[in-house]
Structures are given as structure tokens and as C-alpha cells.
Amino acid sequence: MQIIKSIDALRAAVKPLAMQGKTIGLVPTMGALHDGHGALIKESVKNCDVTVVSVFLNPIQFGKNEDLDKYPKRLEADAKLAESLGADFVFAPSVAEMYPDGDPLTLVRDETLESMYCGAYRPGHFRGVLTVVSKLFLISGANHAYFGEKDYQQVFLIERMVRDLNFDIQIHRVKIVREASGLALSSRNEYLTDLERSQALSISTGLKQAKETFEKGERRVAVLRDVVIKSILGNRGQVQYVEVVNQKDLQKFNGALREEDKVVILVAAFFGKTRLIDNIELN
């Protein structure tokens, strides 16, 4: 496996393989890889001839008061993990390589959904994500890209962008990977103290309880939301949002669900200073 830092070098390495008819899979990451990323890499390795894992801490998707500076960085360990799972290239460009002119003037945005849910609390976040993901698609020339469903709104926006802009790439969603405790894997879990980590289980427990409540026949959105909110508040978490939204268009539901509605509960909550997100589909 090769670690590549320049755009030209990645293109020079991947293009000839694509010309030979090999399929290229891309796993975009910001590094600090865990088993959730591992699941994405495994999917790509299983389905594609060549797998590129990008490790780029993208500054333009972080707000001023967010955790860009303290975000864990460990390229060597990331590369080892990627290699052990069968990746062919780790693409780890510098900020100057990706944004040689400073912050880009051309941005990719979703006018409608980028300011909802996570976007409402992280202004500019999704345009930073869509912009860097577009760049990574163009740089890698990948035919397939793999994203985790923990970032439900993110993968939805990326799928929509691919359709809207006719990117020639297939997006694959990979299910959330959880610890045995239920906690969804995230690089940000590393910020949690032991106490906060045990309190943070209230997110997945609350989501599971809401799903059980739904399966017993409860269809009132307010009741389903309340199950999750109570679980988090009862464990010293601060709820940022809990919303029941349509899987198809991410529009919010109020009132009662109908049999045909396919929804997902999206959550963001703080434990101490750490913001975590999670979700569960109700089908």
C-alpha cells in the first residue's frame, strides 16, 4: 500500500488502473480511523479492484468554535489499519495541496437541507463537506464511494448531490457500527470521559426504546421523540435536536405516522463538551 500526498501523484497512480478497466473505490475520511471506517474500507475492498482511503481533516467543514484543532491525528496508525484491511492507497494531502488559493471561492451547497438538523447548528458545515467530497470524487476518479449511515444527513446530501450534478459515481451506504454497549463508533468518542461515555449510551438506548415503542404500535411522533429526549436528559446529556424525518426527503414529521411512512429518528446531543450524533430507522 502506498501513502500519497499530492493530487498529481494520486491521479498518476490511479488513472492507469482505471484505464485497464479496474474499478476504483473511495473511502473518504478525516483520519483517526476506527472500526466504523474499517467497515467502509472492507466494503470497498470486497467490491472494487482498487481502494483509495482519503485522510484529510477538511478545515472548511468546521466552524470557528468547533474541534478542528483538537481532532485526533495519527496518519501512521490510520495507514496501517487501511493496509491491514486491503486498501491500495492512502491519500493524505495537506491543506495547501487541497486549497492552494486559500478557502475556495467555488462551493457546492444544498440550498434546502444544508441548514436543517446538524446544518442548523453547524452553519457552513455541509457546504464544506459537499465541496471536499466533490473534489475527492474528481481527484480520485472513483467509480464507487462508501459512507457510513451514522452521518445520515451527510450521506443523504451526498447522494442528492451526485444525482443533481451527474457525478459518475455510485454511493454506498454502510450501516452504523456500534460498540457492544450500543454506542455508535465515532472519532469524537475519544473526547468522552469514562463517566460521559456511560452517560452517552443513553442516545442509543433511547433510540432503541423508541424503536420498540414504535414496534408496539405507537405512531405519535411527539411520543417517539420524547422517549429519546427523556433518555438523554435523564443521563445529563444536552439535547441539540431529536427529529423524526422521512427517509426519502429528510422532511420533518409531526402528528402521527401512517403505515406507509418510512422514517428515521435523527439525534444530536452533547455530553460534556462532546457533540455526538446517532439515528435509527423505523420501518
Q: Does 28 bind ligand PAF (CB under 6 A)?
A: yes
Q: Does 151 bind ligand PAF (CB under 6 A)?
A: yes
Catalytic residue among 34, 37, 125, 172: 37
Q: Does 51 bind ligand PAF (CB under 6 A)?
A: no
The Cα 225–Cα 210 span in angstroms is: 7
Q: Restricting to residues 187-246, which ones interact with ligand PAF according to CB under 6 A?
A: none
Q: Does 119 bind ligand PAF (CB under 6 A)?
A: no
C-beta closer to ligand PAF: residue 126 or 271:
126
Task: Please state the closest distance from residue 223 (CB atom) to ligand PAF, in A.
Answer: 31
| CB proximity list for 8: less than 8 A, separation 6 or greater | none
C-beta closer to ligand PAF: residue 108 or 224:
108
Start-to-end Cα distance in the chain: 41
What number of other Cβ atoms are within 10 A of residue 92's Cβ?
A: 20
C-beta closer to ligand PAF: residue 29 or 199:
29
Q: Does 132 bind ligand PAF (CB under 6 A)?
A: yes
What number of other Cβ atoms are within 10 A of residue 1's Cβ?
A: 15
Strands 24-29 and 50-55: parallel
Give φ, ψ of 52 to 5 degrees. Answer: -110, 125
Of 12-20, 100-108, 125-133, 218-226, the segment contacting ligand PAF by CB under 6 A is 125-133
Q: Which three cell numbers stand for residue 110?
A: 444544498
Q: Is 37 a catalytic residue?
A: yes
Alpha helices in the chain (DSSP H): 7-19, 35-47, 75-84, 95-98, 118-121, 125-140, 152-165, 194-215, 221-233
* Gyration radius from the chain CA atoms: 19
Q: Does 30 bind ligand PAF (CB under 6 A)?
A: yes
Residue choice 60, 82, 129, 185 for contact with ligand PAF (CB under 6 A): 129
C-beta closer to ligand PAF: residue 116 or 210:
116
Give the residues lining the site for ligand PAF (CB under 6 A).
28-30, 58, 61, 129, 132-133, 151, 154
The catalytic residues are: 37
